């Protein structure tokens, strides 16, 4: 699928972003449970209500900073411990643990299991790791929902972790073949011949990981630059949106709204980490001076209007409503309908939210006007603005989505009001839990009923989910 670039630029709706800018426990009887369940408009007959009890995350830090000497399972373990402490959870009441990650540490390939054991969960509790690029912990949550809905589990911890301070760097494929052959060689001349081949530059050159599409060979930053150009999104608009994200994150932090944060005392460090360290409000004048990061010199994607490499972990407790109330928990939210979408990874790599939003709304029987809280993953400012323009375009809806009319873009007055991935950080495997937890927290803070989570991911994949506030 290829964009008709000129036509798209002409028809895309203009969007000027510069104009808009202790878990409580209680004891519930079965009668109370029935009353609560029957009153929910999105409850489905014969399907158990599934709830988010609580979600937490350790502070998200720029890679190469305070977490640099740790390992991924250290971060994930402390997210799990933070969840246990926040909720007072009896570890034996958990049936399963699922965590998402993208770039795996080879020594702990099933990082969910290693983190669970390190956090003191019973060895009898199964755990597995999922990977789905930037929506890995979204997948962990929906996998938890599936286990509960099917009756296999009552309580599942879903989370995610990413550790960009120390990613696996492999020796070259040629070197790997030579080493494997050397291991089988029996005669000295053959061994010497193989060793001499190992000393060649082509064998010694390592393979570095890259945030790039295997199918296209293109980095995500290049894709974002082309997408911004296709939708005629200016550098100024992108810098304005990035400045908005950082300012809102700063204000949310100062006001104590980011209650999903749990402190982390890093071994060997004097101070306990209690805040994200990538939030940096800045002026448009400063942002405008940065040079393009990917397509040089004419691109519009810079380091400041892109999400940065981040270390972090998150965890949330997902339960059947019945089990949660039996154990004395007051849930935060109902986890309702969700969808996964996918499209062309070449020209539509980052448009997952535009495709997922109308689908999940239709599945839930809701309209855009029913949504009080929007939490979308911010990979790049240009990516967010491209999605909003796509959602405002009747032509895009008809041409690429087989829809009769546009779904409409969210109002920015409801959109990512506590900052987003551009400012808070984006540990690939952990962001989904942050999005869902923030949606639940905002619904209660702002008095809304429904929230919508959406995110794009590598491979042209996208995700959308409806979150419903639990009654006070």
If you search the block for the tokens 């849930």, which residue do you land on?
331
Q: Which of 15, 99, 401, 456 is catalytic?
A: 456
Q: Which helix (H) or strand (E) holds 161?
A: strand 155-162
Q: Which two tokens stand for residue 48?
A: 């158990």
Secondary structure letter of residue 417 according to DSSP: B
CA pair distance 158, 439, nearest whole angstrom: 16
CA triple 419-424-426, angle to 5 deg: 120
Whether 94 and 156 have beta carbons less than 8 Å apart is answered as: yes
Q: What is the DSSP string of 310-330?
A: EEEEEEEEEEEHHHHHHTTB-
Q: Which of 364, 328, 377 is nearest to 468 (CA)?
A: 364
CA pair distance 469, 408, nearest whole angstrom: 23
Under DSSP, is residue 100 helix (H, G, I), strand (E, B) or coil?
strand
CB-based contacts of 355-358 (< 8 A; 24+ apart in sequence): 355/401, 355/462, 356/454, 356/462, 356/463, 356/464, 357/391, 357/407, 357/452, 357/454, 357/464, 358/391, 358/397, 358/401, 358/403, 358/407
Cα torsion through 58, 62, 65, 69, rounded to 10: 60
List helix spans (H) across 296-380.
321-326, 352-364
Q: Does 456 qualify as catalytic in the annotation?
A: yes
| Cβ count within 10 A of residue 210 | 11
CA triple 331-51-426, angle to 5 deg: 95
Give Cα 351 to chain centroid, integer Å. 15
Q: Which of 79, 134, 164, 301 is catalytic?
A: 134
Q: Does 153 qualify as catalytic in the annotation?
A: no
| Cβ count within 10 A of residue 458 | 22
Inter-helix orientation angle 381-391/220-230, to 10°: 40
Instruction: Write out the catalytic residue numbers.
Output: 134, 456
């Amino acid at each position: 699928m290829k964009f008709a670039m000129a036509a798209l630029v002409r028809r895309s709706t203009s969007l000027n972003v510069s104009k808009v800018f202790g878990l409580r426990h209680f004891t519930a009887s079965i009668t109370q449970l029935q009353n609560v369940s029957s009153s929910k408009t999105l409850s489905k007959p014969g399907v158990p209500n599934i709830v988010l009890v609580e979600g937490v995350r350790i502070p998200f830090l720029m890679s190469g900073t305070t977490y640099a000497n740790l390992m991924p399972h250290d971060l994930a373990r402390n997210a799990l411990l933070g969840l246990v402490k926040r909720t007072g959870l009896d570890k034996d009441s958990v049936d399963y643990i699922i965590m998402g990650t993208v770039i795996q540490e080879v020594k702990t390939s099933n990082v969910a299991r290693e983190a669970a054991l390190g956090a003191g969960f019973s060895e009898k509790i199964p755990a597995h790791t999922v990977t789905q690029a930037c929506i890995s912990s979204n997948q962990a949550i929906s996998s938890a929902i599936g286990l509960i809905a099917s009756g296999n589990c009552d309580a599942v911890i879903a989370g995610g972790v990413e550790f960009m301070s120390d990613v696996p760097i492999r020796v070259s494929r040629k070197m790997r073949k030579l080493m494997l052959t050397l291991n089988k060689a029996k005669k000295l001349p053959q061994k010497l011949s193989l060793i001499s081949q190992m000393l060649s530059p082509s064998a010694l050159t390592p393979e570095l990981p890259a945030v790039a599409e295997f199918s296209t060979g293109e980095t995500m930053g290049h894709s974002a630059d082309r997408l911004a150009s296709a939708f005629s999104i200016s550098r100024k608009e992108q810098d304005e949106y990035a400045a908005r994200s950082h300012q809102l994150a700063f204000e949310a932090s100062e006001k104590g709204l980011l209650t999903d944060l749990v402190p982390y005392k890093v071994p060997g460090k004097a101070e306990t980490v209690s805040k994200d360290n990538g939030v940096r409000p800045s002026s448009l004048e400063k942002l405008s001076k940065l040079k393009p990061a990917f397509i040089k010199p004419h691109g519009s994607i810079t380091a400041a209007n892109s999400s940065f490499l981040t270390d972090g972990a998150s965890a949330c407790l997902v339960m059947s409503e019945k089990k949660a109330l039996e154990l004395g928990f007051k849930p935060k939210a109902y986890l309702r309908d969700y969808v996964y979408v996918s499209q062309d990874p070449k020209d539509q790599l980052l448009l997952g939210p535009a495709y997922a939003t109308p689908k999940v709304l239709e599945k839930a029987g809701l309209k855009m006007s029913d949504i009080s809280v929007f939490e979308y993953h911010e990979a790049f400012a240009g990516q967010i603005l491209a999605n909003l323009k796509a959602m405002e375009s009747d032509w895009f809806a008809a041409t690429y989505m087989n829809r009769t009319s546009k779904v409409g873009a969210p109002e920015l007055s409801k959109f990512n009001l506590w900052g987003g991935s551009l400012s808070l950080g984006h540990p690939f495997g952990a962001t989904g839990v942050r999005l869902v937890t923030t949606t639940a927290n905002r619904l209660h803070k702002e008095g809304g009923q429904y929230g919508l989570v959406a995110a794009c991911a590598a491979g042209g994949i996208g995700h959308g989910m409806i979150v419903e506030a639990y009654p006070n």
